[in-house]
């Protein structure tokens, strides 16, 4: 049982038609006699992080004891400022497919590539004299051709049976290492997902093109964003007020929440089993019998992050990079001497 009375000021109240106690108040001078000045040791004491699950492509973790301005900075950086590699220049040697060159180039740009961006440098797009080198440009090649399958059984209508190479998938893309790139990328550079459909061909059509991939950030173009989603929510709180809810009332109370949020103990009393699973639908607030019997809220300093990677990096790497980037931004500003 969580005692909410002690952390009330950290609970954002949720009522049927409004939210209350929304802003952070942990600033010096807000509460008389309390010290809320920045204290690293105190922060270290309060801060906790916990990972719920972590796979190659998705991750959920908690950051507890940080302000929303900090958590939001990490979220924003993950989406818009963590650099990744993507196709930027497409040199089309031949394209007789029905997909126009510019549409094809756009589709190629959006394919997530699995490559460690740490090994690459920025391609200086705004410098007209800049020459691409193995340090900043990755060359990929795509060539696909469709032919008739002479062995197709008569009467078949499936293009996959009738033709060879009717569908062009991302797995066809070939990495062409330049300079020392074969040392830096011993596993090569390939699309994170080999099954991305790039184009469909018919016999006689072919695509032959070279792609130059460069580093970029999501702010410039979404294709450079390493995440499919990066979001957070605040941990929900549910507080039952007054005498225990029992019998039919308890059953009804339970049914107001998603499965697993409210349980009923051996005495038939409803209790909050796992508030984390709550979607905060506020269904319970619609019923007059629960008026004044329940308080919904969210913990202001408990962030549940959900990060889904596009495949370029693992989600934990993306988060760590976002933290490093925020620090780097500070370092850059710190270098300036404003006192003159």
Partner 1 sequence: MPSAANENEAAGSSDVPQAKEEVVDEEMAGGEFEFDGEIDPNKIQILPGASEDGTAASFRILKEDHTMGNALRYMIMKNPDVEFCGYSIPHPSEAAVNLRIQTYGDITAIQALEKGLDDLMDLCDHIESEFRKEVEAGDYSTVEP
Query: What part of residues 172-191 is at the interface with partner 1 (CB under 8 A)?
Result: 180, 183-184, 186
| Contact set for partner 1, span 59-78 (CB under 8 A) | 61, 63, 66-67, 69-70, 72-73, 76-77
| Contact set for partner 1, span 229-288 (CB under 8 A) | none
Cβ at position 190, least distance to partner 1 in Å: 18
Of 18, 40, 131, 267, the residue at the interface with partner 1 (CB under 8 A) is: 40
Mind giving me the DSSP string for 118-166? Answer: GG-----TT-TT----TTT-EEEEEEEE-EE-TTPPTT---HHHHEES-
Rounded CA-CA distance 244/270 in Å is: 7
Residue 254 C-alpha from the chain's centroid: 32
Q: DSSP secondary-structure letter at 291?
A: T
Residue 59 C-alpha from the chain's centroid: 9
Cβ at position 195, least distance to partner 1 in Å: 19
Element (H, E) at 262: strand 262-264
Of 118, 248, 289, 291, the residue at the interface with partner 1 (CB under 8 A) is: 118
Cβ at position 178, least distance to partner 1 in Å: 14
339 near partner 1, rule: CB under 8 A: yes
332 near partner 1, rule: CB under 8 A: yes
212 near partner 1, rule: CB under 8 A: no
Of 23, 32, 38, 242, the residue at the interface with partner 1 (CB under 8 A) is: 38
Q: DSSP secondary-structure letter at 23?
A: S
Cβ 243 vs Cβ 269: under 8 Å: no
CA dihedral 93, 94, 99, 101 (to 10 degrees): 30
Cβ 142 vs Cβ 198: under 8 Å: yes
**Residue 4 or 119 with smaller CB distance to partner 1:** 119
334 near partner 1, rule: CB under 8 A: yes
Q: Please give the size of the binding site for partner 1, defined by CB under 8 A.
A: 72
Among 50-58, 101-109, 240-248, 282-290, which window interacts with partner 1 (CB under 8 A)?
50-58
Of 49, 94, 171, 229, the residue at the interface with partner 1 (CB under 8 A) is: 49
Q: Which residues 6+ apart lie within 8 Å of 33 measured at CB?
A: none
Q: Which residues 6+ apart lie within 8 Å of 195 measured at CB?
A: 169, 170, 171
Rounded CA-CA distance 79/226 in Å is: 7
Cβ at position 124, least distance to partner 1 in Å: 5
228 near partner 1, rule: CB under 8 A: no
Element (H, E) at 271: strand 270-272
| Contact set for partner 1, span 75-104 (CB under 8 A) | 76-77, 80-83
Among 5-13, 22-30, 159-167, 191-199, which window interacts with partner 1 (CB under 8 A)?
22-30
Rounded CA-CA distance 27/149 in Å is: 73
Whose tokens are 């005692």? That residue is 3
Of 163, 175, 303, 319, the residue at the interface with partner 1 (CB under 8 A) is: 319
Phi and psi at residue 82, to the nearest 5°: -85, 120
Of 2, 34, 52, 286, the residue at the interface with partner 1 (CB under 8 A) is: 52
Of 119, 145, 149, 228, the residue at the interface with partner 1 (CB under 8 A) is: 119
**Residue 20 or 52 with smaller CB distance to partner 1:** 52
Among 91-99, 112-120, 141-149, 265-273, which window interacts with partner 1 (CB under 8 A)?
112-120
| Contact set for partner 1, span 125-154 (CB under 8 A) | 135
């Amino acid at each position: 049982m969580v005692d909410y009375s002690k952390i009330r000021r950290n609970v954002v109240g949720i009522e049927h038609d409004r939210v209350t106690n929304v802003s952070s108040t942990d600033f010096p001078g807000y509460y008389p006699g309390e010290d809320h000045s920045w204290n690293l040791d105190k922060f270290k004491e309060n801060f906790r992080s916990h990972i719920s699950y972590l796979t190659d492509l998705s991750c959920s973790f908690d950051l507890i004891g940080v302000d929303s301005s900090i958590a939001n900075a990490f979220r924003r950086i993950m989406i818009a400022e963590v650099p990744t590699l993507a196709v930027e220049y497409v040199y089309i040697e031949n394209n007789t497919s029905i997909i126009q060159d510019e549409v094809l180039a756009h589709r190629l740009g959006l394919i997530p590539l699995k490559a460690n961006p740490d090994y690459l440098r920025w391609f200086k797009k705004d410098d007209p004299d800049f020459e691409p080198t193995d340090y900043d440009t990755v060359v990929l090649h795509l060539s696909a051709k469709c032919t008739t399958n002479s062995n197709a059984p008569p009467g078949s209508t499936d293009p996959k049976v009738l033709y060879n190479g009717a569908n062009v998938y991302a797995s066809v893309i070939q990495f062409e290492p330049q300079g020392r790139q074969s040392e830096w990328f011993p596993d090569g550079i390939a699309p994170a997902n080999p099954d991305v459909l790039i184009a469909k061909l018919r016999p006689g059509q072919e695509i032959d093109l070279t792609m130059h991939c460069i580093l970029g950030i999501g702010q410039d173009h979404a294709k450079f964003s390493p995440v499919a989603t990066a979001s957070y929510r605040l941990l929900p709180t549910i507080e039952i007020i007054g005498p225990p809810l029992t019998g039919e009332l308890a059953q009804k109370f339970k049914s107001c929440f998603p499965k697993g949020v409210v349980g009923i103990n051996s005495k038939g009393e409803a209790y909050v089993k796992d508030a984390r699973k709550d979607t905060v639908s506020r269904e319970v607030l619609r019923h007059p019998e629960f008026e004044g019997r329940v308080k919904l809220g969210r913990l202001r300093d408990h962030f549940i992050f959900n990060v889904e990677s596009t495949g370029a990096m693992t989600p934990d790497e993306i988060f760590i990079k976002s933290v490093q980037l925020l620090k780097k931004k500070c370092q850059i500003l710190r270098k300036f001497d404003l006192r003159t």
